[in-house]
Amino acid sequence: MGVDTWGVDYGVLDKNGKLISIPYHYRDARNIGTTKVVEEKIGLDRLYELTGIEYMEINTLNQLIAAINMDDPTIKSGEKILFMADLLQYFLSGVAKAEFCLSTTSCMFNTAESKWEDQVFDAFDIPKKLQPETVYGGQVLGNIREEIAIETGISKECKVITPAPHDTACAAVAVPKLGENVAFLSSGTWSLTGLELDEANINEETKKRNIANSGGAFGKILFLKS
């Protein structure tokens, strides 16, 4: 089994692997006004150059800025952030890892180099210890936890395998001939149109148009516009 969800939202685990508090939703009003902090500390242009992600005030980065502004204790006492699908798969398997697709939605991940971007963490005083290990879709996280198997009647041999757990990535990978000069439109809560690329496309024109280089299945890049 595997889980897919939306992007950007996250939970924080403590040193004992316990979820510290109920996650916020990206539409929470606490994010309003965080753009000013981004502009002051790093600038929107530089942030895009480092991450290649479409800037919106709902991004994980903005949520963490809001948490810091509120003196949210999860930032200081937390040991690792996990995005929503990763968090649910952690509950199922006991293995805490973040998948590439969801990591790229954070606006704290260098999509071109496929790594957490330390410059972003440093600019906003976000502890780098929160950076989770990143894996790609198809990774076997482990067997389902024994207590869950017993309670639900699911076989103890059931594997928890992370898909491309961002819902847009799941939708895109189902498109026939994706990557062969084929564009797609995914419509749900959001409508996103884009292409699948082999590598990130980050330049002055994409910056001006605020186009996302989001993670896709098999390590591909989804060149997306909301």
Q: Facing residues of 116 across strands? A: 109
49 burial via Cβ count (<10 Å: 0-12, 13-18, 19+): middle
pTM of the model: 0.95
What pLDDT shows up at residue 179?
85
Q: Within 10 Å of residue 32's Cβ, how many Cβ atoms?
A: 10
For residue 99, is it left (φ>0), alpha (ψ between -120 and 50) or beta? beta
Instruction: Return the HEC string of the chain.
Output: CCCCECCCCEEEECCCCCECCCCCCCCCHHHCCHHHHHHHHCCHHHHHHHHCCCCCCCCHHHHHHHHHHCCCHHHHHCCEEEEHHHHHHHHHHCCCCEEHHHHHCCCCEECCCCEECHHHHHHCCCCHHHCCCEECCCCEEEECCHHHHHHHCCCCCCEEECCCCEHHHHHHHCCCCCCCCCCEEEECCCEEEEEEECCCCCCHHHHHCCCEEEECHHHCEEEEEC
Q: Do 115 and 219 touch, CB atoms closer than 8 A?
A: no
Question: Region 105-112: what's the mean pLDDT?
Answer: 97
pLDDT bin (cut points 50, 70, 90) of residue 16 is: very high
Annotated catalytic residue: which of 14, 45, 167, 198? 167
Q: What is the pLDDT of residues 126-177, one digit of tens each?
A: 999 999 999 999 999 999 999 999 999 999 999 999 999 999 999 999 999 9
Of the candidates 195, 211, 188, the residue with the CA atom closest to the CA atom of residue 5 = 188
Active site residue 86: no
Q: What is the pLDDT of residues 44-99, one digit of tens each?
A: 999 999 999 999 999 999 999 999 999 998 998 999 999 999 999 999 999 999 99
